[in-house]
Copies of this chain bind each other. A is one copy, B any other.
């Protein structure tokens, strides 16, 4: 069939000509939290945490999963992610970036579903209400070897363990194929999504100011350093750390006291092109 114009073609277009499938978004919401420590002198330990939802319907009934939802036929991908974010945390204007699109044919037992995952970072202090019953923050612990990544998630009541193996994809870049080798409590391919998000964050914290999306308005440099340390999974030296972040923050009049030690000045984030 030949058409004489784009308009004519579109009028006659049969949209059933190509395969159709469903799409979802999954939102990986990271934050940091404090672990209270018995010794009054010691700082509270920062923990890096992820928000999970307990499924109360099939498929994967009673397993934990990332907040997510189907994309409407007239809905932008990112709008869908923001809708999910709003539903689970009641927050808007949150840092959000597209992470990766997972399209394995059998990643959902119901039918072919392609899922675009998003990475969101929030400051937990902004959460006005406690999250609802089937939603919970899990602290993340990571142990990584050449071949495997083992992750523990802990919400105080329940402990989740999963293992993902790394297979180098090519010689020229440090990309890996992740394959889940142990997982009994997470739904879908969410172990892979979580690992991808952690890697993305680890990378970006080194060359962007992304970390400040997880910080409260006022913070001490010690707290900021702890957040870097928990995400990078290693200790940093304070003088070097302070040099590096010196031009990203500015000192305020506020002071944090109460620990059994010298009080600490509180700082605020200064964006690159700001004049504060």
* Chain A residues with a Cβ under 8 A of chain B: 3, 6, 9-10, 13, 15, 18-23, 58-61, 70-78, 95, 97-98, 100-101, 103-105, 109-112, 114, 116, 170-175, 204, 208-213, 269, 271-274
- Cα–Cα, bound, A111→B95 (Å): 30
Contact B110 A13 (CB under 8 A): yes
CB-CB under 8 A from A273, the residues of chain B are 171
B10 touches A110 (CB 8 A): yes
Bound: A60/B5 CA distance, A: 10
Minimum distance in angstroms from A270 CB to a CB of chain B:
9
User: CB-CB < 8 A to A76: which residues of B?
Assistant: 103-105
**Smallest CB separation, A120 vs chain B (Å):** 12
Please indicate which of the listed interface residues A58, A61, A98, A274 has the most CB atoms of chain B within 10 Å of its own CB.
A58
Q: What B residues does A272 contact at CB under 8 A? A: 171
- Do B19 and A172 touch across chains, with their CB atoms under 8 A apart? no
Whether A6 contacts B58 by the Cβ 8 Å rule is yes
Chain B residues, CB < 8 A from A97: 173, 175
Residue contact B208 to A73, C-beta cutoff 8 Å: no
Looking across the interface, which residue of chain B has its beta carbon closest to that of A213? B172
Point out the residues of chain B lying under 8 angstroms from A71, CB to CB. 19, 21, 103, 114
State how many angstroms separate the Cβ of A233 from the closest Cβ of chain B: 19
Give the residues in chain B near A77, CB-CB below 8 Å: 101, 103, 114
Q: Are A70 and B9 in contact (CB under 8 A)?
A: no
Tell whether, in the assembled complex, residue A15 and residue B111 are in contact, meaning their CB atoms are under 8 Å apart. Answer: yes
Sampled A-B contacts (13; CB under 8 Å): A6-B58, A13-B110, A18-B70, A19-B72, A21-B22, A98-B100, A98-B101, A103-B116, A172-B269, A172-B271, A173-B208, A173-B210, A174-B208
Whether A101 contacts B104 by the Cβ 8 Å rule is no
Which single residue of chain B is at the shortest CB-CB distance from A104?
Answer: B76
Q: What's the nearest-Cβ distance from chain B to residue A167, in Å? A: 14
